[in-house]
Structure 1
């Protein structure tokens, strides 16, 4: 991707969740909520503190994250729908084997 976010912003690709309930019922598109999980696509260099020093972000490209339902701004880059949000909008990073298996 040829897009680099500024400061403490992050570009995220939503990860679609399963379209079926545990009982096997298929959820129609109109009843689905937007996914609150995503994969970090690009990361800005970081924010500056009061002294002007750069504070690097805790995220890196490829991290699976959880963010708030209404977080970020939806944009279309190279025909792909992505979210741009501040690092503070991100609630946490999913770690472990389960997180990497779901991404594949």
Structure 2
């Protein structure tokens, strides 16, 4: 996938994983009750700050905070842009 957006400094662009459609026991979750996903894939990353190089790279699967980032639309898809410090870890 090629995206024509380059985050600056310590920001990353994340494609959120789809929300769960069913519970573990098979109950279908309606759209109004779906929780915001906390996992995603890095699709673009900035170059880091002068004294802080980036840890994450394009293709990394990451876990981030529930209220992290800002939703933006690019080429008809919704992404999250956030600072690398909002990412908790890499899978």
RMSD over equivalenced CA pairs, Å: 0.9
Q: Distance in 2 between matches of 1:56 and 1:31?
A: 38
Q: Whole-Å Cα distance in 1 between the matches of residues 81 and 25 of structure 2?
A: 35
TM-score under structure 2 normalisation?
0.93
| Pairing 1:46–2:48 present | yes
Match among 62, 77, 87 for residue 90 of structure 1: 87
CA distance in 2, matches of 1:30, 1:18: 12
Q: Which 5+ residue runs of structure 1 have no aligned equivalent?
A: 50-54, 95-104
* Number of the residue aligned with 2:17: 15
Are residues 1:77 and 2:74 paired?
yes
Matched positions, count: 89
Please name the residue that 2:53 is paired with.
56
TM-score (norm 1): 0.82
1:102 matched to which residue of 2? none
Shift of 1:62: 0.6
Q: CA deviation at 1:18?
A: 3.0
- Tell me the equivalent position of 1:6: 8
Deviation at 1:30, TM superposition (A): 0.3
After TM superposition, where is structure 1 displaced by more than 6 Å over at least 4 residues in a row? none
Shift of 1:17: 3.7
